[in-house]
């Protein structure tokens, strides 16, 4: 009986050690995945589903604004709430021979060179080695503070700055990928400025 217990304890000990090694190996792989994000290249591919106060900005930039659109924008200003929503599609290129990974992403929205809003996305992404992955990032904020003085005209000028691919010289984006390693969330040390590369297709 004693020998049987000793055998059981030995087996449990081996299993525990193997389990610990497996966990440590997994954590190490995750840490490498986060660190490898620093070696990736980031490009602002395009912006889709861009709306201001519920109005499709593409319609505005193409001159297809309707009386209903004007009413929505005017009503938004009067009600002191001008919500902007958009999907920012970011190409992450991994030129290395190791996968890169993130479980969440903090973002900062800059308008006219100044920080305007910030938020977080909890969408996990793995960027396969030597491949490019497009990551959609939902960005939402309220623009009322920008237009509280000049009203509808300044809103029109802002909207007209957007191109057909949804990007604007007035709007910038910075991101900070994060990775959950065990019970801890580890961020990259600095924000990454995401810009549209010259010659890239939207």
Q: Is 69 left (phi over 0), alpha (psi -120 to 50) or beta?
A: alpha
What is each CA distance from 156 to 47, 73, 80, in whole angstroms?
19, 9, 16
**H or E element, residue 174:** strand 171-181
The DSSP string of 12-53 is HHHHHHHHHHHHHHHHHHHHHHHHGGGGSEEEEEEEEEEEET
With a pLDDT cut of 90, the percent of the chain lying above it is 31
Range list of β-strands (E), 40-164: 41-52, 55-56, 83-94, 100-102, 104-111, 114-121, 125-127, 131-142
Q: How far apart are CA 78 and CA 97, in angstroms?
A: 54
Q: Which residue has better confidence, 64 or 106?
A: 106
CB-facing half-sphere around the CA of 133: CA atoms within 13 A: 17
Report residue 74 as tokens: 């005017």
How confident is residue 175, by pLDDT bands cut at 50, 70 and 90? very high
The alpha carbon dihedral of 104, 105, 106, 107 has a sign of negative
Residue 11 CA to its chain's centroid (Å): 46
Counting every residue written for the chain, the total comes to: 202
| Spatial contact of 103 and 187, defined as CB atoms under 8 Å apart | no
Query: Average pLDDT, stretch 181-188?
Result: 74
Residue in the structure block whose two tokens are 């449990």: 12
Residue 147 CA to its chain's centroid (Å): 26
Question: At residue 19, does pLDDT exceed 80?
Answer: no
The alpha carbon dihedral of 93, 97, 103, 109 has a sign of negative
Return the pLDDT at 9. Answer: 35
Single out the residue of 50, 43, 42, 44 nearest to residue 166, CA to CA.
Answer: 50
Return the pLDDT at 198. Answer: 64
The dihedrals phi and psi of 164, each to the nearest 5 degrees, come to -65, -25
Return the pLDDT at 10. Answer: 43
Return the pLDDT at 202. Answer: 58
pTM of the model: 0.75
Query: Average pLDDT, stretch 14-36?
Result: 52
What pLDDT, in 10s, does the model give residues 154-174? 877 888 888 888 888 889 999
């Amino acid at each position: 009986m004693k020998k049987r217990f000793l055998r059981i304890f030995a087996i449990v000990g081996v299993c525990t050690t193997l389990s610990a090694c497996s966990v440590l190996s997994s954590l190490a792989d995750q840490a490498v995945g986060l660190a490898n994000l620093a070696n990736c290249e980031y490009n602002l591919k395009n912006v889709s589903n861009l709306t201001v106060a519920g109005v499709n900005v593409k319609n505005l930039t193409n001159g297809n604004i309707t009386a209903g659109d004007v009413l929505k924008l005017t009503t938004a200003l009067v009600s002191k709430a001008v919500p902007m929503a958009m999907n920012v599609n970011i190409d992450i290129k991994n030129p290395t021979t190791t996968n890169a990974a993130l479980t969440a992403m903090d973002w900062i929205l800059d308008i006219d060179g100044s920080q305007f809003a910030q938020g977080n996305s909890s969408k996990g992404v793995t960027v396969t080695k030597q491949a490019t992955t497009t990551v959609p990032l939902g960005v939402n904020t309220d623009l009322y503070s920008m237009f509280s003085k000049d009203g509808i005209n300044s809103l029109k000028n802002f909207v007209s700055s957007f191109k057909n691919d949804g990007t604007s010289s007035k709007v910038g984006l910075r991101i900070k990928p994060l990775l959950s390693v065990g019970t801890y969330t580890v961020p990259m040390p600095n924000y990454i400025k995401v810009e549209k590369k010259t010659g890239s297709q939207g």
